[in-house]
Amino acid sequence: MQQDFTNKTILTGVTPSGDSMHLGNYFGAMKPLVDLGQKSNLPVYCFVADLHALTTVQDREVLEHNIQNVIINYLAFGVDDTERFVFFRQSQVPAHSELMVVLGNFIGLGQMKRMHAFKDKLQKGTDEGNINMGLFNYPILMAADILLYESNLVPVGADQKQHVEIARDIAQNFNRLTGSEVLVVPEPLISEETGKIVGTDGERKMSKSLGNIVGIFDESQVIKKQIQGAYTDPNRIHATDPGRIEGNTVFAYHGLINDDREEVAQLRARYEKGKVGDAEVKERLLAAHQRYFAPLREKRDFYLANPARVAEILEMGRERAERKAAEVLNKVKKAVGL
Ligand code: ADP
Ligand code: TRP
């Protein structure tokens, strides 16, 4: 179904992680976001959720490194297009924190206790008394992030759907209890086609923690190793055996990143007839990877070498975000009698 994004305010937050980005992140989160920037007539709000990161990272150097990493990566991926994106750091717009304090009064303890972020910790054996309040309140901060910009659509991974739903509940409670229409009720936007990129084990979702990734900005030697270890057709012993394309991760990745469609078609045909070995198919994949991500690597290097430009883009984003946030926060304060 084609969705109409005209006049829709789209917003998303990215939790900084210091790890390298992989194909799953790129095709599951970044690329859909950058594509949305092209589809909407309004600028897309995209921010680095640095306050959220504080709930799990309490080492200053690690946090700073993670934040820088995600900023540079996102700029390279395309949010540096300031016509289409308002890119900023959450902590630089204090209205997020201020709104959070107000919104906390419009949600009950019972519902908060049913949130994943909190429940997961309990399930993993953390004692309730040791869960920090930042983590517990995480969904309220996220609701503030969303409601502060009158967001209509919130692109997130499936794991974050519950958090967008609580933002909806908070907005509805607020409007009902204050007898106002101040808060816009948002909807989650979960990308279906590329919702799940399979890992190099051919089995599970590509994920850093599972060690089944193909990176994006890592050294080519690292990428090469990752590709060499990717799952193909286990029943194929010799290169002359006919091979299966279906379930073959190497061909799945060719489909995503190899811009030379003719080459892909030929490789597929030869593979099915037993006329090409896995090694060659993987070499071509590595070459395709180098081509596909070359412009992004270049841009990333540019921003790494130009911190002043990075600061300038973030400052521009902060200013624009703050203007909108102040407007909504004022309406909220008025509605509650502050
Ligand atoms: P990881 O699982 O590697 O730790 P994150 O949880 O940091 O990845 O994911 C960051 C973003 O990338 C999320 O929006 C998530 O939905 C998306 N993402 C991660 N892995 C995949 C995948 N294999 N397929 C599709 N999207 C993914
Ligand atoms: N919690 C989200 C994640 O871990 C990041 C996030 C924070 C977010 N605030 C948001 C996403 C607001 C969408 C909207 O991925």
Tell me the per-residue pLDDT of 183-231, one tens digit each, with 9 for 90 and over: 999 999 987 655 689 999 999 999 988 999 999 999 999 999 999 999 9
Give the pair of three-digit tokens for residue 147: 């409601």
In the reported structure, the alpha carbon of residue 39 is separated from the centroid of ligand 2 by a whole-number distance in angstroms of 21
pLDDT in tens, 69-88: 999 999 999 999 999 999 99
Ligand nearest to the CA of 12: 2
Q: How confident is the model at residue 29 (pLDDT cuts 50, 70, 90)?
A: confident
157 lines ligand 1 (CB under 6 A): yes
With 0.85 as the threshold, say if the pTM is over it.
yes
Cα separation, 169 vs 146, whole angstroms: 12
- Residue nearest atom 13 of ligand 1, based on CA coordinates: 157
In the reported structure, the alpha carbon of residue 157 is separated from the centroid of ligand 1 by a whole-number distance in angstroms of 7
DSSP assignment letter at 79: I
Give residue 124's pLDDT: 86
Query: Best substitution site from 15, 21, 25 to test ligand 1's pocket, by max atoms within 8 Å of Cβ?
Result: 25
Around 12, how many Cα atoms within 13 Å sit in the side-chain half-sphere? 24
Ligand nearest to the CA of 154: 2
Mean pLDDT score of the chain, rounded to an integer? Answer: 94
Q: Quick check: 168 and 70 in contact, CB under 8 A?
A: no
DSSP string, 280-319: HHHHHHHHHHHHHHHHHHHHHHHHHH-HHHHHHHHHHHHH
Cα separation, 101 vs 222, whole angstroms: 45
